[in-house]
Amino acid sequence: MSTLVDTLTEGISVITWACTLTALVPGLALVLVARKARLTVALYYIAGAAFMAWAQAAGHWWVSAQGAAVVIAGFVAAATYVAAWRAPGHSSPLATGAGLVGGALAGWLWRPCVGEHLGDILNNAATDGPRTLALMGLYMAGVLLPLLLIAVAPYAVPAVGRLLDRLPFAIAGASVGAAYAVALAIGQYDDLIGELYRISAGY
Amino acid sequence: MKSSLSRSVAVGVLTVGIALIVWTAVSGPDDDPVVAEAASTPTAAPQPAPSETPSTSAAATAEPSATAAPTTTTTTEALEPIPVLGTAFTLSRLDGWLNTEATSLEEIRANNEITVVQFWTFGCRNCKNTLDALGELYADFGDHGVEIVGVHAPEFAYEADVDNIIDAAAKLGVTWPIALDTQKYNFHVWQEGPTGYWPRVYVIDSDNQIRFDRRGDSPRKYRELYQIVDRLLAET
């Protein structure tokens, strides 16, 4: 039980780190864009990111984030935002797909901030699949908790829902998504990460 | 009724989530995170292939090369043999060395029984978290055939500046040899797969075999590192 709590809280503790923001910001933008399916998109985004991050650590995914693969990723990222925008409801395959693919993309590009518990997950991913996959899911739930909270907030406080439903929020999300997709497609995503880190670290 | 229930659940999730964030922010993390970087395959000719790929997954299948030897470790438990995880790579295409007269990993290995190789960068907070443990190791074993090589693989431009590295090493008390891997060539060669990590530490024995390989800054793992070095030294 302690391991579960510690893993979750370690994920939460790095929310504001630049290396986390690179996965978190595109997810927040995607949730804002998905006005009619925020919760579905958020949950599948977390699942997709956790699975891909784990798959890389376990050696099941060998495509490096470089060259043509990153350019293709830029177009795929753009498609996830369009799908999220057009998703008509929670049960829509567009919502599921946008969340899952968007999350997988984030997990692939993620430069994880590795504390003690994530280190254990990474070190054992290849030999202890089910346990480390579950722990990675928990860790990622902590890292991406803001997504979940934004997706849940309209159910708890309807006024927040009405606020988030306004067009400027969707446009803001779409703008961030577009910047993310373009940065990927033109190969500047690493620089964006570096700049985020530099700002975060105060250099 | 259904709407009321879903709202209650949402309020609960929201409350717990916010409480967790506040609690974590107030209590603070136990350890700072390290940063990992997506690997880029070196474009130049590869190094000589090792007989085994160094990886943590190899630990599960590797045959131990020796039975437990007498050791100075004070424990009454039967010790597991230290597995062989593969043959270590060399260090090449470096931009130089600091804190040593040596010019190659082979030269350092030739003068020592055990070599600890850590990939680090001075801007990485979790790398810094490990320095006390490495300093203790160096103080205890540095004169007994153990050498530490800190392979400095910068993540960002300011970490690639040699003057900054020298300043940081002095401030951080890094007195062991530093290999300057500015282009991260060795960083990616040693760490196969799509992602490399800071810090990552290896222990290499006198036969150039990797006997320990860990990612992250876990104090527990660095205590284990100390014990492994102690035991390997006793074996030799």
pLDDT, residue A48, reads: 97
Same domain (yes/no): B157, B98: yes
In which band, very low, low, confident or very high, does the pLDDT at B2 lie, cut at 50, 70 and 90?
Answer: low
pLDDT at residue B42 greater than cutoff 80 = no
Q: What is the pTM of this model?
A: 0.77
The answer to whether the Cβ–Cβ distance between B35 and A201 falls below 8 Å is no
**Domain co-membership, B95 together with B163:** yes
Percent of chain A at pLDDT > 70 equals: 91
User: Would you state the pLDDT for residue B64?
Assistant: 35
Domain identity same for B6 and B73: no
Q: How far is A26 from chain B (nearest CA, A)?
A: 18
Number of domains in chain B: 2
Q: Once rounded to an integer, what is the mean pLDDT over residues B29-53?
A: 43
Q: Quote the domain boundaries for residue B17.
A: 1-30
> What's the pLDDT band for A103 if we cut at 50, 70, 90?
very high
Of the pLDDT bands very low, low, confident and very high (cuts 50, 70, 90), residue B188 is confident
Residue B223, pLDDT score: 94
B152 and B64: one domain? Answer: yes
Q: Note down the domain range covering A103.
A: 2-201
B74 at A interface, C-beta within 8 A = no
Least confident of A123-132, A170-179, B153-162: B153-162
pLDDT at B193 over 90: no
With CA atoms as reference, the chain A residue closest to B32 would be A115
Mutation to test the B interface, candidates A114, A190, A198, most B Cβ within 10 Å: A114
Report, as an integer, the average pLDDT of B64-71: 37
* B194 close to A (CB below 8 A): yes
pLDDT tops 90 at residue B207: yes
The B34-38 sheet, strands edge to edge = A113-114, B34-38, B195-197
B23 CB near a chain A CB, below 8 Å?
yes
Contact: B17, A145; criterion CB under 8 Å = yes
Rg (CA), chain B: 21
Best of A5, A10, A13, A140 to disrupt the B interface (most B CBs within 10 Å) is A13
| H/E segment holding residue A98 | helix A93-109
**Structure confidence at residue B47 (pLDDT):** 38
Q: Are residues B98 and B209 in the same domain?
A: yes
Listed range (A20-24, B160-164, B212-216) with the worst mean pLDDT: A20-24
Q: Do B32 and A115 touch (CB under 8 A)?
A: yes
Give the confidence band of B123 by pLDDT, cuts at 50, 70, 90.
confident
Rounded Cα gap, residues A200 and A182, in angstroms: 22
Structure tokens at A142: 């902590």
DSSP per residue, A14-73: TTTSHHHHHHHHHHHHHHHH-TT-HHHHHHHHHHHHHHHHHHHHHTS----S-THHHHHH
Which candidate in B3, B9, B34 is best for mutational testing of the A interface (most A CBs within 10 A)? B34
Residues 146-185 of B with CB under 8 A from A: 155-158
Residue B84 CB partners (closer than 8 Å, separation 6+): B52, B62, B63, B64, B65, B209, B210, B211
Helix (H, G, I), strand (E, B) or coil at B107: helix
Q: Both B111 and B57 in a single domain?
A: yes
**Coil/strand/helix, residue B149:** strand
Which DSSP letter does residue B84 get? P
Mean pLDDT, chain A, rounded, equals 89
Sign, CA dihedral A10-B136-B131-B58, equals: negative
Residues B83 and B96 in one domain: yes
Question: Residue B58's pLDDT is what?
Answer: 35
- Per the listing, tokens 């850590």 go with B118
- A124 to chain B: which residues are within 8 Å by CB? 56
Max avg pLDDT among A54-63, B16-25, B77-86, B150-159: A54-63
Q: Residue A66: its pLDDT value, please?
A: 76
Helix count and strand count (H, E) for chain A: 11, 1
Q: Are residues B6 and B65 in the same domain?
A: no
Number of H helices, E strands in chain B: 7, 9
Residue of A nearest to B60 (CA): A127
pLDDT given for residue B1 in this prediction: 56
pLDDT for A18: 66
Which residues of chain A does B221 touch, with a Cβ-Cβ cutoff of 8 Å? 119, 123
Q: What is the mean pLDDT of chain B?
A: 80
Contact (CB, 8 A) for A49 and A107: yes
Assigned token pair, B169: 């090493």
Confidence of residue B68 (pLDDT cuts 50, 70, 90): very low
Q: What pLDDT band is residue A83 in, cutting at 50, 70 and 90?
A: very high
What is the number of alpha carbons within 13 Å of residue A175 lying toward its C-beta? 6
Q: Which residues make beta-bridge pairs with B214? A: B201
Q: Which residues pair with B83 in a beta bridge?
A: B64
Residue B40: its pLDDT value, please? 43
Report the 10 Å Cβ neighbour count for A183.
18
Nearest-CB residue to A9 (from B7, B18, B24) = B24
Chain A and chain B share a number of CB contacts under 8 A equal to 150
Residues B19 and B43 in one domain: no
How far is A125 from B109, CA to CA, in rounded Å? 31
Pairing of strands B200-204, B209-215: antiparallel
CB < 8 Å from B in window 1-30 of A: 6, 8-10, 12-15, 17, 19
Query: Is B158's pLDDT higher than 50?
Result: yes
Band of residue B133 on the pLDDT scale cut at 50, 70, 90: very high
pLDDT in the model for residue B51: 38
Task: Find the closest chain B residue to A61 by CA distance.
Answer: B194
Task: Give the chain A residue whose CA is nearest to the CA of B126.
Answer: A115
Length of chain A (residues): 203
CB burial string A62-78: b at 16+ within 10 A, e below: eebbeeeebeebbebbb
Q: Both B14 and B72 in a single domain? A: no
Both structure tokens of A182: 């373009």
User: What is the structure's pLDDT at A203?
Assistant: 58
**How many domains does the structure of chain A reveal?**
1
Residues above pLDDT 90, as percent of chain B: 49
Q: Is the pLDDT of residue B182 over 70?
A: yes
C-beta of residue B191 within 8 angstroms of C-beta of residue B118: no
Whether A75 has its CB under 8 Å from any CB of chain B: the answer is no
Higher pLDDT, residue B162 or B24: B162
Q: Which residues have C-beta within 8 Å of that of residue A73, sequence separation ≥ 6?
A: A65, A105, A108, A109, A184, A185
Give the domain CATH number at B65.
3.40.30.10
Classify burial at A5, counting beta carbons within 10 Å of its beta carbon; exposed 0-12, middle 13-18, buried 19 or more.
Answer: exposed
Check CB contact under 8 Å for B216 and A120.
Answer: yes
User: Residue B38's closest CA among B198, B179, B152, B235?
Assistant: B198
Q: Residue B6: its chain A contacts at CB < 8 A? A: 155
Residue listed under structure tokens 């014990």: B227
CA distance B10 to chain A (A): 5
Do residues B117 and B201 touch, judged by C-beta distance below 8 A?
A: yes
B24–A12 C-beta distance less than 8 A: yes
Same domain, yes or no: B5 and B60 = no
Q: Are residues B25 and B45 in the same domain?
A: no
